[in-house]
């Protein structure tokens, strides 16, 4: 409701109500705050207002939009319109079409935080005014802890080819070095890397146009 979401906390509020919050904070285990403020959806003023969710057909993007919530403390201020975009590469983007006309952006808390993870506070009343959200602005938190890789790409050159086949043969039959990390050699994605089944999978893929290996997320 109040411009933030959580992956773990059932209600992003304080005993059912809006309250002051800082980032980092200990109130929520995870928090993604695009525009933390005292908001309310007033369909009497704006019948189409509400919280809308879009999921891409490829399941790699989700958009959560706060469409014209009202300012709880100022009747008639319903020009706020912003969204959070979550993508499978781990990036988080805040986009602001409008931030209202009553100065809500000056008291908003903008940032992300997670338990035992780095907190990133982009803006609150104590941070530089230059970080303040504004109409037609966007903020992106880029992920640097995940990477997508092809299973079976043993030499980590970005593709699965005959070099990975010879790498696997060398490991299985000649005590060659393992890929680093070992899971890179799980060509058939059965959670048992560098086995004969992975070798036959690679042969089928490279020489018989077999199915491509799965693409999985590798933690840096």
Class of domain 147-219: mainly alpha
| pLDDT score, position 19 | 92
- pLDDT above 90 for 99: yes
Q: What's the token pair of residue 55? A: 């999921």
| pLDDT score, position 219 | 63
pLDDT of 7-19, one tens digit each?
999 888 998 899 9
Average pLDDT value for the chain = 90
Burial 95-124 (b: 16+ CB within 10 A, else e): bbeebbeeebbeebbbbbbbeeeeeebbbb
The helices-and-strands tally (H runs, E runs) of the chain is 3, 13
Q: Give residue 117's pLDDT band: very low, low, confident or very high (50, 70, 90).
A: low
- pLDDT above 80 for 118: no
Is the pTM higher than 0.75? The answer reads no
Ranges for all domains in the chain classified under CATH 1.10.1330: 147-219
Q: What's the token pair of residue 60? A: 């790699």
| pLDDT score, position 96 | 98
Burial label for 8, CB within 10 Å (0-12, 13-18, 19+), is exposed
- pLDDT above 80 for 115: no
């Amino acid at each position: 409701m109040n411009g933030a979401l959580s992956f773990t906390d059932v209600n992003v509020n304080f005993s059912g109500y809006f309250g002051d919050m800082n980032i980092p904070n200990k109130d929520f285990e995870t928090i993604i705050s695009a525009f933390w403020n005292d908001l309310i959806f007033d369909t009497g003023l704006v019948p189409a207002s509400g919280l809308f969710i879009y999921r891409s057909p490829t399941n790699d993007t989700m958009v959560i939009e706060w469409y014209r919530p009202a300012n709880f403390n100022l009747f008639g201020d319903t020009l706020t319109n912003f969204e959070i975009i979550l993508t499978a590469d781990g990036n988080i983007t805040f986009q602001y079409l409008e931030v209202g006309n009553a100065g809500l952006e000056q008291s908003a808390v903008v940032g992300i935080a997670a338990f035992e993870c780095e907190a990133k506070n982009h803006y609150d009343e104590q941070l530089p005014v230059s970080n303040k959200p504004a109409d037609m602005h966007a903020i992106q938190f880029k992920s640097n802890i995940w990477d997508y890789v092809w299973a079976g790409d043993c030499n980590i050159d970005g593709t699965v080819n005959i070099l990975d086949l010879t790498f696997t043969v060398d490991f299985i039959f000649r005590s060659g070095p393992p890929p680093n990390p070992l899971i890179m050699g799980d060509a058939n994605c059965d959670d048992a890397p560098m086995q004969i089944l992975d070798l036959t999978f690679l042969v089928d893929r490279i020489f018989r146009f077999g199915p491509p290996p799965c693409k999985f997320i590798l933690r840096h």
